[in-house]
Amino acid sequence: MAEVQQSSGGDGKKGHQKKMTIRVDFTPMVDMNMLLITFFMLCTTMIKSQTLTIALPTNEKVQNEENMSQASADDAITIIIDAKKKPGPTPGTLVVDSVNGNVVNEIYYYDGKPGGDTGMFGPGGVVLSANNNLKKSELLSDEVNSVGDHKARGIREIIQARNKAVLEKINALKKQLEEGKFGSLETKADREAAMAKYNEEASKVRKDENVKKPVIIIKSTPEASYRGLVDILDEMQINSISKYQIDNITDVDLVMLDDYRKHQK
């Protein structure tokens, strides 16, 4: 390929013109290209970051108490993210994953009000451990059995149980999408149109006021890592939760966490 054979064109009788072979050596070219490729591989990134959009309420003090949207105790679930700490004489040192060096987070949750209807504190500010309704959970991915069915575990199972009404409708919509009720899924354009229709319907279901759905309050202790927060926000998306908020941790929450740990040992 790199050689060009030059023949003299004539019938070869006139004089003896030599057949010339022009050869271009491409080795330096390949060397240079390899260097360039190496440069591009090291100095560039192909991964585009994904984003997670969140909206928080304003910091302004709400003047009118009536305007505040109060979650009813029946619907509320509070999830608390805390960093796992080393037990023993030096409390406060965080447990670090031995494999990837990440801070290990723990997930706790309680339904309704802290301490149930009677509250966490007895007369004189005594902590009533019997009223502590804090429970521990875990962040786990779905368990997939041999048939390929997904089974939620950990905190996801708890959220899904509370959000059953919405999830059932969403799953019905998903089935309709697969059956082609939102339009054919043959070409890319068709598929996108069908997905748009499906997303519209799904967001209607998520926002439907008549369907019973939980309100999730996400709290995190100062030591817990950012990853824990993103993981929980992910769970909201996975489980089609439309009402959730990130809130400041309160003293009662910290008392409950403390009390829970004391009685675990």
Partner 1 sequence: MGRVKIARKSTFIDMTAMSDVTVLLLTFFMLTSTFLSKEPATVITPASVSTEKVQETNVLQVLVSPKGQVWLTMNNDTSAQWSNAKMRVAMLDEVTQLYNAQHKNKISFTPAQKATFSKLGAFGVPLSQMGEFLSLADEPEGLTKMDQWLAGEDNNPKHISGIPIAKENNEDNLNEFQLWIKAARQAGNDNLSQAMKDGAGVAIKADQNTSFDIIHMVMDNLQTVRQNKFTLLTALKAGGE
Return residues touching partner 1 (CB under 8 A).
1-2, 23, 25-27, 29-30, 33-34, 36-37, 40-41, 43-59, 81, 83, 101-103, 141-142, 220-231, 233-234, 237-238, 246, 248
**Which candidate, 58, 55, 60, places its Cα nearest to that of 244?**
55
Minimum CB separation of residue 151 from partner 1 in Å reads 13
DSSP state of 28: H
DSSP state of 114: T
* Closer of 47 and 126 to partner 1 (Cβ): 47
* Closer of 13 and 61 to partner 1 (Cβ): 61
Minimum CB separation of residue 73 from partner 1 in Å reads 26
* Closer of 56 and 126 to partner 1 (Cβ): 56
Minimum CB separation of residue 119 from partner 1 in Å reads 26
Residues 1-20, buried b or exposed e (16+ Cβ, 10 A)?
Answer: eeeeeeeeeeeeeeeeeeee
β-pairing, 3-6 vs 20-23, is antiparallel
The two tokens of residue 22 are 């022009």
Tell me which residue has tokens 């202790």: 221
Minimum CB separation of residue 58 from partner 1 in Å reads 6
* Closer of 1 and 189 to partner 1 (Cβ): 1
Distances (CA, A) of 196 to 71, 177, 242: 31, 11, 18
Minimum CB separation of residue 10 from partner 1 in Å reads 28
Minimum CB separation of residue 123 from partner 1 in Å reads 34
**Which candidate, 72, 67, 85, 65, places its Cα nearest to that of 217?**
72
* Closer of 115 and 163 to partner 1 (Cβ): 163
DSSP state of 48: P
* Closer of 137 and 225 to partner 1 (Cβ): 225
Minimum CB separation of residue 64 from partner 1 in Å reads 19
Please say whether the beta carbons of 215 and 71 come within 8 A: yes
* Closer of 47 and 147 to partner 1 (Cβ): 47
Q: Which sign, positive or negative, has the C-alpha torsion 114, 119, 125, 128?
A: negative
The span from the CA of 85 to the CA of 83, in Å, is: 6
Please say whether the beta carbons of 254 and 125 come within 8 A: no
